[in-house]
Amino acid sequence: MNASTYVARTPGPDGHIHYPEEENAIWQMLITRQLDCVQQTACNEYLTGLERLDLPKDHIPQLADINQVLQPATGWQVARVPALISFDRFFELLASRQFPVATFIRRREHLDYLQEPDIFHELFGHCAMLTHPAFARFTHTYGRLGEKATPKERGFLARLYWFTVEFGLLNTPRGRRIYGGGILSSPGETQYAFESGKPEFRPFNLLDVLRTPYRIDIMQPIYYVLDNLDQLFAIADMDIMAEVHKAQQLGLFAPAFPPKKTAI
């Protein structure tokens, strides 16, 4: 992994993380503008989870406050981690129903997009969905599979995470709606997905997802769309690793973006 330019904050003697005024101001700016975006673009399950979390608008919340909502809802918790962690640690945490949260927030020059996940991305983007049983179970299953996978298998599993947990969309009676945290926490990606007319929307197919390359530094040219959120229960019950091995044999699709060394 590349070194991060950010450093996660650690708790003080009272067990709380004391964020500077500037960082709380950035949180307020991010959550205020993104709340406007998600009301018309996020799925109902996310909006319900967000209401349960009741995130503060004027300061960065403490992780213990998030756990008081997640634990009784689905048995999940959030875990404080440094800015970057190893894949081993990432899968280990998910397998134990702990969602890693790096306790730093992006600087103003990175307001619209940050490649590495900060506390706003993790809490606003992902934690509301972790109150939903289907999403919670799928994420736990993913962690257990990744914990035992080889490095090559993890490369294919990463695409499953990318096109669901990070950039997943959902068909609803109101039209396509977001459940993926990578879109939910990004005003630019939200606008791009709904207003640009540029991306391609494909029905979710596990084998296709595992074979689709992506890049972390661009707006996504392809999104995979679930028919409903409970479809995640069905995916979790599939023999995902058998599909990974099929994908390895078949190889990747041609990328839908210009080549770059950071392609995965």
On the 0-12 / 13-18 / 19+ scale of CB atoms within 10 A, 96 is middle
The answer to whether 129 and 181 have CB atoms below 8 angstroms apart is yes
- Please tell me whether residue 82 adopts helix, strand or coil conformation: coil
If you average pLDDT over residues 70-82, what whole number do you get? 97
Least confident of 88-102, 109-123, 228-242: 109-123
Q: For residue 2, what pLDDT is reported?
A: 58
Task: Kindly report, residue by residue over 219-261, the tens digit of the pLDDT.
Answer: 999 999 999 999 999 999 999 999 999 999 999 999 999 887 6
If you average pLDDT over residues 3-21, what whole number do you get? 94
If you average pLDDT over residues 96-105, what whole number do you get? 98
Q: Tokens for 200?
A: 């391609």
Q: For residue 4, what pLDDT is reported?
A: 79
With CA atoms as reference, report the closest residue to 111 among 185, 9, 5, 194.
185
Least confident of 70-79, 102-111, 254-263: 254-263
More confident residue, 226 or 262: 226
Task: Kindly report, residue by residue over 117-148, the tens digit of the pLDDT.
Answer: 999 999 999 999 999 999 999 999 999 999 99
Q: For residue 264, what pLDDT is reported?
A: 54
Determine which helix (DSSP H) or strand (DSSP E) holds 98, and give its type and residue range: strand 98-102
Q: For residue 61, what pLDDT is reported?
A: 98
Q: Tokens for 155?
A: 């490369």
Q: For residue 116, what pLDDT is reported?
A: 87
Task: Kindly report, residue by residue over 148-161, the tens digit of the pLDDT.
Answer: 999 999 999 999 99
Residue 200 CB neighbours (<10 A)? 10
Of all residues in the chain, the percent with pLDDT exceeding 70 is 97
Task: Kindly report, residue by residue over 35-47, the tens digit of the pLDDT.
Answer: 999 999 999 999 9
Decide if pLDDT at 17 tops 70. yes
